[in-house]
Structure 1
Amino acid sequence: MTSRRTRYIIIGAGAVGGTVGGRLAEAGHDVVLVARGAHFEALRAGGLRLTTPEGTRAHQLPVVQGPDGLGPELRPDDVLVLSVKTQDSTAALDAWSARPVAGGGTAGERLPLVCAQNGVESERLALRRFRHVHALCVWLPATHTEPGSVSAAGTPLSGILHLGRYPSGTDETARRIAADLEKSRFLAPVVPDVMRWKYAKLLSNLANAIEAVSGPLESPEAKALVRRALAEGQAVLAAAGIEAASPAEQAEARDGRTTLVPLDGTERGGGSSWQSLSRGTGTIEADYLNGETVLLGRLHGVPTPVNEALRRIANTCARERRAPGSLTAARLTTLVDAG
């Protein structure tokens, strides 16, 4: 790295990417947002509207649709932050990894890539294309349902972002990125075992499909489905010999550090999968959340019928562009039990 100031290229400026990019910009860091479609057009026309408990601000940041928007070469001090949904990772990684970097080499050979995403698959995909891959376990309650706008309800910190090298270890790059994040309203512990944290997050994300398809996880039927999906997830991790951070560790990391407050007088909507259905994107990340449990179950001989059904139903709802909460939890339970 040169002495020039780090530039953060946020590949996927949605709920997580937009919040991280906006907060970094507020702390004085160079930020480029990467978006597409109506979101790109809104960001280019009116800037990023970031709503937090302190209010709403419009950030006029550079925005591009891909690496071509940044000229023929990337800078040697660039950090790439991948925050698209995992189903979009391969296309993004292919687009950015081969990009030349000033001074020689490509992004895949020279630049750090941070996977700021749910699930555990993008790091595997990235390591095929990038030499320097970092994993970021994202606990960041944020929402993106309207083009050009994101919101994050946490205060005084917007979120907690465990960071480390993939597959394990730490380095000076991780510490430098974490220092920048901690100046930007995040807690960013640098840990040598970051995938333990990401597998713990994966377990909690098994409920995403249930929330997206049937709404808030408040009914007895919804809570029972969550317990069943989680039990399968825990069983496959045990069979695979994969360790996840414990609930007690997660609670200790978050305790007292951030509180969620209503923004603009309204409660926050659902999580990332709920937001995908709300935006009518046509895709959802269930293949890499519930589907990861299914994959591990098949590899290690553990039945996972609940997660298999949730993966299939969530994908159908996304493909048919159904609104979030279109099935009751009771109806979803019936479909899950029907296999």
Structure 2
Amino acid sequence: MKICIFGAGAIGGYMGVKLAQAGADVSLVARGPHLAAMQEKGLTLIEESGESTVKVTASDNPSDLGPQDYVIVTLKAHSVPPVVDKMQPLIGENTTIVSGVNGVPWWYFHKIGGPLEGTRLSTVDPGNAQWDGFGPDRVLGCVVYPAAEVSEPGTIKHIEGNRFSLGEPDGSKSDRALALSKALASAGLKAPVRPRLRDEIWVKLWGNLSFNPISALTHATLDVLCTDPGTRAVARGMMVEAQEIAEKLGVKFPIDVDRRIDGGAAVGAHRTSMLQDLDAGRPMEIDALLGSVHELGKVTQTPTPTIDTVLALTKLRAKTAGLYA
């Protein structure tokens, strides 16, 4: 089994080290100083149990790596459409694209059934780059739960979590899903195959679509924005609107809104990924986490006044920082 991780930053690098340690035939696509460090010294993973370094096959040119059985995409959502053409050398006749990207996935309406079957989302797949360039039949969904960071080029610091939930768009327990689950499990990672992966997508998105933009606008950490009465009310309003959309699409939420917000508060003084990107001058995942839900509101004819307001403010904040095109 040949596995390529495309976008081997914090999460992709963490997965790559674990797979390499288990003896998997894994390769990594990265760039810049991080790639140079991996090529020169190997990839180092710092965990609570200690530090380890593995030699890895890493390149910025997919043509060096050839066709794969699985290509696991761990880029930021907005970074994927521009590199679909570059990824083609990795894709053979039976290659599976594992979409480990935050937010509403581009394949969301593939094999969902009903009148919205095949609907395409311009916010996460402008120009249908992924739908046409990968093909939705190749996709295997993945919800990423671990937290990690690149502490320096060539070094990944694992913070918490080791679960990567997998799921077919049609909910089946396919051979390809089970085979990848087994490979990840052999590397010490949890990789359950879920029949209702979209439910998990929404529970994670529920927090991301509200906490991330509010933190970017206020610079508050999770414990503060989830307990301050004003920002908690804004987050709650956004989540209620999102829940109405999701339930129209058949999603079942295992917890209620207030418990989800309390869960965010319990994380403590955490700076969300969108706030970290803003401070670091990196493009922010506005369309995947928030614009996509606004678009789904139109698709399902669901009013989203709170989401629309926060989206407009967050877009302008990003534009003034030169971080949104």
Equivalent residue for 2:223?
Answer: 218
1:74 has 2:58 as partner: no
For the 8 Å contact 2:44–2:154, the answer to whether it is kept is yes
For the 8 Å contact 1:167–1:195, the answer to whether it is kept is no
Equivalent residue for 1:308?
Answer: 308
Equivalent residue for 1:15?
Answer: 10
For the 8 Å contact 2:213–2:274, the answer to whether it is kept is yes
Gaps of 5+ in 2: 109-124, 260-265
Instruction: Decide whether aligned partners of structure 1 residues 58 and 268 sit closer, same or farther in structure 2, where only a CA change above 3 A counts.
Output: farther
Instruction: Decide whether aligned partners of structure 1 residues 92 and 247 sit closer, same or farther in structure 2, where only a CA change above 3 A counts.
Output: farther
Determine helix, strand or coil for the equivalent of 1:123: coil
1:176 has 2:184 as partner: no
Instruction: Summarize deviations over 1:45-69 as a string: whole Å, max 9, x none.
Output: 3332322111232332111113123
Deviation of 1:204 after TM superposition, in Å, equals: 2.1
Equivalent of 2:54 in 59, 69, 88: 59
1:133 has 2:139 as partner: yes
For the 8 Å contact 1:145–1:279, the answer to whether it is kept is no
Instruction: Summarize deviations over 1:234-264 as a string: whole Å, max 9, x none.
Output: 12223x333044238xx9xxxxxxxx99xxx
Q: Aligned pairs, how many?
A: 287
Instruction: Summarize deviations over 1:77-127 as a string: whole Å, max 9, x none.
Output: x3100111110111233322x327xxxxxx264201111111123335544
Instruction: Decide whether aligned partners of structure 1 residues 242 and 89 sit closer, same or farther in structure 2, where only a CA change above 3 A counts.
Output: farther
**Whole-Å separation in 1 of the counterparts to 2:23 and 2:8:** 18
1:163 has 2:147 as partner: no
Q: Residue 287 of structure 1 aligns to which amino acid in structure 2?
A: D
Equivalent of 1:41 in 36, 41, 64: 36
**Whole-Å separation in 1 of the counterparts to 2:299 and 2:233:** 26
**Whole-Å separation in 1 of the counterparts to 2:155 and 2:214:** 25
Q: Residue 306 of structure 2 aligns to which amino acid in structure 1?
A: V
Equivalent of 1:90 in 81, 103, 110: 81
Instruction: Decide whether aligned partners of structure 1 residues 272 and 25 sit closer, same or farther in structure 2, where only a CA change above 3 A counts.
Output: farther
| Aligned 1:137-156 pairs, distance under 5 A | 137-144=143-150, 146-154=152-160
Moved more, 309-318 or 11-20: 309-318
Determine helix, strand or coil for the equivalent of 2:164: strand
Equivalent of 1:114 in 95, 98, 103: 98
For the 8 Å contact 1:162–1:190, the answer to whether it is kept is yes
Deviation of 1:316 after TM superposition, in Å, equals: 4.1
Instruction: Decide whether aligned partners of structure 1 residues 277 and 48 sit closer, same or farther in structure 2, where only a CA change above 3 A counts.
Output: farther
Instruction: Decide whether aligned partners of structure 1 residues 305 and 15 sit closer, same or farther in structure 2, where only a CA change above 3 A counts.
Output: farther
Deviation of 1:16 after TM superposition, in Å, equals: 1.7
**Whole-Å separation in 1 of the counterparts to 2:198 and 2:234:** 26
**Whole-Å separation in 1 of the counterparts to 2:270 and 2:55:** 26
Deviation of 1:200 after TM superposition, in Å, equals: 2.1
Q: Residue 301 of structure 1 aligns to which amino acid in structure 2?
A: Q
Equivalent residue for 1:232?
Answer: 241
**Whole-Å separation in 2 of the counterparts to 1:189 and 1:202:** 19
Gaps of 5+ in 1: 1-5, 101-106, 252-259, 262-266, 324-339
For the 8 Å contact 1:217–1:223, the answer to whether it is kept is no
Determine helix, strand or coil for the equivalent of 1:150: strand
Equivalent residue for 2:276?
Answer: 275
TM-score (norm 1): 0.75
**Whole-Å separation in 1 of the counterparts to 2:255 and 2:74:** 25
Equivalent of 1:241 in 249, 257, 262: 249
For the 8 Å contact 1:127–1:133, the answer to whether it is kept is no
TM-score (norm 2): 0.78
Q: Residue 234 of structure 1 aligns to which amino acid in structure 2?
A: Q
Determine helix, strand or coil for the equivalent of 2:144: strand
Deviation of 1:194 after TM superposition, in Å, equals: 1.6
